[in-house]
């Protein structure tokens, strides 16, 4: 019985991560579309960046869920997103972004994510 409860919890966590990944992929695509000088020219790069953002989002929520205010988590998430968006270009050939565009992109990403999370809560 105890093992089945643990298994259910692990499946739910995996399911939540899959939903976060799909949501992150969609948000990232919208972000790239609306951000000047931000180019993702392959689905592979889109998925790689979405996976990295999903993992960091999960880790940030795990670490800062109770110890930081929502504003503090938001600021940390914004800068983490901007750094990930910018640094990824050094690892993927078909991904380009400027420093300013990574900041703009992180802002757009945060706004779209906020709108989507508000819709899911309602």
- Measured distance CA(92)–CA(1) in Å, rounded: 46
Q: Give the per-residue pLDDT at 5.
A: 41
Q: Would you state the structure tokens that stand for residue 95, as one six-digit string?
A: 């991904």
For the residues of 73-98, what is the DSSP string, one character each?
HHHHHHHHHHHHHHHGGGT-TTEEE-
Burial class (CB in 10 A: 0-12, 13-18, 19+), 114: exposed
pLDDT for position 69: 63
Residue 37 confidence (pLDDT): 92
CA 28, CA 113: separation in Å to the nearest integer? 10
Residue 14 Cα distances to 5, 9, 35, 47, 116, angstroms? 14, 9, 31, 17, 20
> Each residue's pLDDT tens digit in the chain (122 positions)?
444 444 434 445 788 788 888 988 998 998 999 999 999 999 999 999 999 888 887 777 777 665 556 666 678 778 888 999 999 899 988 899 999 999 999 998 888 877 776 555 44
Q: Helix, strand or coil for residue 38?
A: strand
**Gap between the Cα atoms of 105 and 111, Å rounded:** 10
């Amino acid at each position: 019985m105890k093992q089945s409860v643990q298994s259910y919890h692990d499946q739910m966590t995996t399911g939540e991560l899959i939903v976060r990944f799909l949501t992150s992929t969609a948000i990232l695509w919208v972000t790239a579309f609306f951000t000047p000088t931000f180019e993702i020219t392959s689905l592979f790069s889109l998925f790689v960046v979405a996976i990295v953002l999903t993992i960091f989002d999960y880790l940030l929520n795990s670490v800062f869920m109770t110890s930081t205010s929502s504003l503090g988590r938001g600021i940390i998430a914004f800068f983490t997103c901007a750094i990930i968006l910018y640094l990824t270009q050094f690892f993927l050939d078909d991904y380009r972004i400027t420093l300013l565009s990574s900041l703009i992109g992180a802002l757009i990403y945060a706004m779209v994510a906020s709108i989507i999370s508000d819709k899911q809560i309602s």
